[in-house]
Structure 1
Amino acid sequence: MAKTISELDDSKVILHPYINSLQKLAVYDLKDWLYIVGTNNDQTSFRLLRISRLSVKELEIKDDGLEYTSHEIQTIISKDNKGGKGATRSVSAFGIAGFIRFLEGYYMILITKRRPVAFVGLHYIYKIEETSMFYIPCEAIRMSHSDEPRYLKMFQSVDLSSNFYFSYSYDITNTLQVNMAVPKDSIIPLIQNGPKKKFWDFQIRGEPNRKFVWNEHLTSMVEKKLHCDWIIHITHGFVGQSVLSIFGRPVNITLIARRSNKYAGTRFLKRGANFDGDVANEVETEQIVEDMGVSSWLVCPRISSFVQIRGSIPGHWSQDITKIVAKPAISNDLLILSYKLQVGTSEG
Structure 2
Amino acid sequence: MMSTLPFRDINIHVSASHYAFTSPSSPSAPTLIVDRPTGDLRLNDGTLLGGKRVSSIAGILGMIKLRLDKYIIVITKAQPMGRLKGHMVYKVIATEFLPLRERPLHDPEEDTYLALLKSFIKSGPMYFSYSFDITNTFQRQAHSDPTTPLWKRADDRFFWNKFIQSDLIDFRTSGARYQHGQQPGIDPYILPVIFGMLEIIQTRIKSTPLTMVLITRRSRHRAGTRYFSRGIDEQGHVANFNETEQIIVLNDNMSGLGGFAGGNGMQNGKVGGSDGKEVQIMSYVQTRGSVPVYWAEINTLHYTPKLQIRGVETAVSAARVHFDEQIKLYGDNYLVNLVNQKGREKRVKEAYEQMVKMLVSSPAEGIQQDQISDEKFRVVEPKGRNSEMDRLHYVYFDFHNETKGMQWHRAQLLLDQLHDALDRQQYFRGVDMPAGLDGRLEIRNSQTSVVRTNCMDCLDRTNVVQSMLARWALNRQLTDLGVLSRGETFTADQDFEFLFRKLWADNADVVSKSYSGTGALKTDFTRTGQRTKAGALQDLNNSISRYAKNNFADGPRQDAFDLFLGTYLPSTSSSPVFADNRPILVQSIPYLFAFSMFFIFVGTFTRRLPEATVWPMRIFILAWILVAAWSFNFIYSHGMLYVNWPKLIPRPWATEGVNEALGKVRKDKVIGGFIPTHERGASTARFLNAEEGKKRIE
- TM-score range for the pair, normalised by the shorter chain length: 0.7 to 0.9
Which of 166, 190, 196 is residue 220 of structure 1 equivalent to? Answer: 166
Aligned position for 1:178? 140
Matched, 1:117 2:81: yes
Following TM superposition, by how much is the alpha carbon of 1:276 offset from its aligned partner in structure 2, in angstroms? 1.4
Cα distance in 2 for partners of 1:323, 1:302 equals 52
- 1:287 is aligned to 2:251: no
**Structure 1 residues 127 and 330, CA gap change in structure 2 (3 angstroms):** same
Aligned residue runs from structure 1 range 161-240, under 5 A: 162-181=124-143, 183=145, 203-205=147-149, 207-226=153-172, 227-240=186-199
| Deviation readout 1:318-341 (Å, 9 max, x if unpaired) | 567779685745544121243332
Corresponding residue for residue 115 of structure 2: 153
Q: Which stretch of structure 1 is more off in the superposition, 170-179 or 221-230?
A: 221-230
CA distance in 2 between partners of 1:138 and 1:327 (Å): 47
Cα distance in structure 2, aligned partners of 1:48 and 1:267: 43
Letter in 2 for 1:49: L
Whichever residue aligns with residue 296 of structure 1, its letter is G
1:246 pairs, out of 189, 194, 205, with 205
Query: 1:163 & 1:323 partners in 2: Cα distance?
Result: 29
Q: CA deviation at 1:105?
A: 2.5
Shift of 1:218: 0.7
How far, CA to CA, are the matches of 2:305 and 2:40 in structure 1? 55
For residues 233-278 of structure 1, what are the alpha-carbon distances to aligned partners after superposition, in whole Å with 9 as ceiling and x for unaligned? Answer: 1110000022221342211110010000111111111111111111
Q: What is the DSSP-based 3-state SS (H/G/I as helix, E as strand, rest coil) of the residue aligned with 1:153?
A: helix
Deviations 1:158-187 (A, max 9, x none): 13463101111111111111112254xxxx
TM-superposed CA distance for 1:39, in Å, is 3.4
Contact kept in structure 1, 2:223 and 2:240, CA below 8 Å: yes
Distance 1:135 1:329 in 2: 43
Aligned to 1:340: 318
CA distance in 2, matches of 1:123, 1:49: 26
In the other structure, the counterpart of 1:49 is: 32
Structure number with greater Rg is 2
Residues 51 and 61, structure 1, Cα contact 8 Å, conserved in 2? yes
Could you report, residue by residue, the CA deviation over 1:278-310 in whole angstroms, capped at 9, with x for unpaired residues?
111000000111003577159943112110000
Per-residue deviation at 1:35?
1.8
Q: Please, which moves more after superposition, 123-132 or 296-305?
A: 296-305
Inter-partner Cα distance in structure 2 for 1:325 and 1:233: 39
Matched, 1:134 2:119: no
1:26-74 Cα deviation digits (max 9, x unpaired): 111224222222234xx66554122222x3xx3112114x5xxxxxx6x
Aligned length in residues: 292
Q: Between 283-292 and 142-151, report the one with greater CA deviation.
A: 142-151
Q: Which has the higher helix share?
A: 2
**Structure 1 stretches of 5 or more lacking a match?**
1-15, 67-72, 82-86, 184-201
Whole-angstrom distance in 2 between the partners of 1:325 and 1:26: 51
Task: Rate the CA distance shift 1:304–1:321 in 2: closer, same or farther, 3 A.
Answer: closer
C-alpha separation in 2, matches of 1:328 and 1:102: 34
Change (3 A) 1:292 1:265: same
Equivalence map 1:17-166=2 (5 Å): 20-40=5-25, 46-53=29-36, 55=37, 58-64=38-44, 66=45, 76-77=47-48, 80-81=49-50, 87-139=51-103, 145=107, 147-160=109-122, 162-166=124-128
Letter in 2 for 1:288: I
Q: Structure 2 length normalisation: TM-score? A: 0.39
- Asked if 2 retains the 8 angstrom alpha-carbon contact of 1:63 and 1:225, the reply is no
Shift of 1:101: 1.6
**Structure 2 spans left out of the alignment, 5+ residues:** 173-185, 254-270, 329-698
Residue pair 1:102, 1:151 contacting (<8 A) in 2 also: yes
Distance 1:343 1:278 in 2: 9
**Residue 213 of structure 1 aligns to which amino acid in structure 2?**
F
**What is the DSSP-based 3-state SS (H/G/I as helix, E as strand, rest coil) of the residue aligned with 2:74?**
strand
Letter in 1 for 2:233: N
Contact 1:128–1:161 (Cα < 8 Å) also in 2: no
Residues 90 and 296 (structure 1 numbering): CA distance in 2 closer, same or farther, change over 3 Å? same
Quote the RMSD (CA, aligned, Å).
2.9
**TM-score normalised over the length of structure 1:** 0.75
Identity of aligned residues (%): 26
Query: Structure 1 residues 269 and 299 mapped into 2: Cα distance closer, same or farther (>3 Å)?
Result: same
Q: Which has the higher strand share?
A: 1
For CA contacts below 8 A with separation 6 or more, give which structure has more relative contact order. 1
